[in-house]
A and B are shown apart, each in its own frame.
Chain A
């Protein structure tokens, strides 16, 4: 049973996704043994959180058992707190997705406070885009909010994305036990995965693919063929997210 901690549904403006249907994603999941994918909707990350989150709920219903949802929290939306409070009660919604880089708003800024407060109140995960060097969501921003909300399990998306940022991501994870490094990214290699395991341990890391933004098979192959032990591989593919989802 493989759980993908970081996936998406929908399409995206900045490049072509030849087949952005949820059916095509489920087909690829089946091909390579991914039982569950934790997803947000790209419409919600982009221009319309309310509409995108509604589509997310529809797709979760359409494919029972295959998707768990992150509702996107838009820090610019005046009604974000009320909408999010409602979404967190819906079946299949396991957490919140924050994208400070797209929303151009810092992860530790006050408009994100309701997101973390609601996550704490409902005992839900928070997955945030992470990006080394970003003015919005660099590892130091994660350190700030992890310390501010110690009961919230926080996934650092992409483990900071850029290889020069992996040491900073590892350092922040080691300092804050409620941070888990999520591993998708087009610049990450299997060798980087092995290095991160030596630095923080597989129990603090979770496989994510970024599909259908990226090809699920490429992200999964990076774990399946990484120079790591099988127990560590199992931990990345299943163990860490099982723990976070069942806590």
Chain B
């Protein structure tokens, strides 16, 4: 089974001293808990300058996730991007403002998948309704949002969810049984949130092996080609 963490940060973070502050440290962390590869956002892009795209060592196990910021003060997706992240809270833009929707339409036309934290279910609903072709992976949902998640996933088939903080009792199994394993992706949110718990959970899901393989890495590898 190939395990790919769809939701990871590389680089130093402002709240802690983390092993993943550089690439060797992150790779050692991945090795320690048997994660084969990670989709990584650089912490400088997230917490310093989202328009600059910080340098990242080339490594086949580290899949760069560029940050995209809509609008005249923002940054477009690189031409070769298959997976990007939108951070309306951190970077203070309107997800469903005119620039946000224009960016979403462009990403949908280019078949780019978007990582998006579930911070405002109403905005996600508006975005998914306005741009139904945009493929979105909701990340960092938290264990309390299952009803809101269901509200969204019931009506927007292009929505998927990561497992980083989908940590309510048997919540992952419930989402898989209702929406299908193709809409659930293994993620951790590390180092801000825990990687060990979701990794252990992945090995102990009450699901058939073929579904676990999709969650572990099959789905993201298909999305990013």
Cβ < 8 Å to B, chain A residues 210-232: 211-222, 224-227
Contact between B169 and A16, CB atoms less than 8 A apart: no
A16-B146, A189-B193, A225-B33 known; A217 vs B204 contact (CB < 8 Å):
yes
B124 to chain A, nearest CB (A): 17
- Within 8 Å of chain B (Cβ to Cβ): is A163? yes
Classify the secondary structure of B's interface with A: loop
**Residue of A whose beta carbon sits closest to that of B33:** A225
- Within 8 Å of chain A (Cβ to Cβ): is B122? no
- Within 8 Å of chain B (Cβ to Cβ): is A20? yes
- Within 8 Å of chain A (Cβ to Cβ): is B194? yes
User: Within the assembled complex, what's the spacing in Å between the Cα atoms of A218 and B193?
Assistant: 12
- Within 8 Å of chain A (Cβ to Cβ): is B8? no
Other-chain residue from A18, A27, A28, A222 in contact with B174 (beta carbon distance below 8 A)? A18
Q: How many inter-chain residue pairs (CB < 8 Å) link A and B?
A: 111
Q: Which A residues touch B193, using CB under 8 A?
A: 187, 189
Contact between A15 and B195, CB atoms less than 8 A apart: no
Contact between B146 and A15, CB atoms less than 8 A apart: yes
Q: Which B residues touch A220, using CB under 8 A?
A: 197, 200
Contact between B197 and A24, CB atoms less than 8 A apart: no
Q: Which B residues touch A216, using CB under 8 A?
A: 169
Cβ < 8 Å to B, chain A residues 34-87: none
B43 to chain A, nearest CB (A): 16
Q: Which A residues touch B32, using CB under 8 A?
A: 225, 227
User: Within the assembled complex, what's the spacing in Å between the Cα atoms of A53 and B168?
Assistant: 23
- Within 8 Å of chain B (Cβ to Cβ): is A191? yes
Contact between B169 and A24, CB atoms less than 8 A apart: yes
A187-B193, A188-B194, A190-B194 known; A18 vs B168 contact (CB < 8 Å):
yes
B202 to chain A, nearest CB (A): 9
Q: Which B residues touch A189, using CB under 8 A?
A: 190-191, 193-196
Cβ < 8 Å to B, chain A residues 11-31: 14-20, 24-25, 27-28, 31
User: Within the assembled complex, what's the spacing in Å between the Cα atoms of A14 and B142?
Assistant: 13
The residue among A15, A20, A32, A214 with the most chain B CB atoms within 10 A of its own CB is: A15
Q: Which B residues touch A198, using CB under 8 A?
A: none
Q: Which B residues touch A217, using CB under 8 A?
A: 197, 200-201, 204
- Within 8 Å of chain B (Cβ to Cβ): is A102? no
User: Within the assembled complex, what's the spacing in Å between the Cα atoms of A217 and B199?
Assistant: 9
Q: Using A18-B170, A221-B200 as known contacts, list a sample of 18 further A-B pairs with CB atoms less than 8 Å apart, ordered by residue number in A.
A: A14-B144, A19-B174, A20-B169, A24-B169, A25-B169, A28-B206, A164-B15, A188-B194, A190-B195, A191-B18, A215-B172, A215-B201, A216-B169, A220-B197, A221-B199, A225-B32, A225-B197, A226-B196
A19-B174, A190-B196, A221-B198 known; A215 vs B167 contact (CB < 8 Å):
yes
Contact between B198 and A218, CB atoms less than 8 A apart: yes
User: Within the assembled complex, what's the spacing in Å between the Cα atoms of A28 and B194?
Assistant: 20
- Within 8 Å of chain B (Cβ to Cβ): is A186? yes
A15 to chain B, nearest CB (A): 4
Contact between B204 and A32, CB atoms less than 8 A apart: yes
- Could you jot down 15 A-B contacts, CB within 8 Å? A15-B143, A16-B150, A16-B168, A18-B168, A18-B169, A18-B170, A24-B169, A27-B206, A190-B196, A217-B201, A218-B167, A219-B197, A221-B197, A225-B32, A225-B33
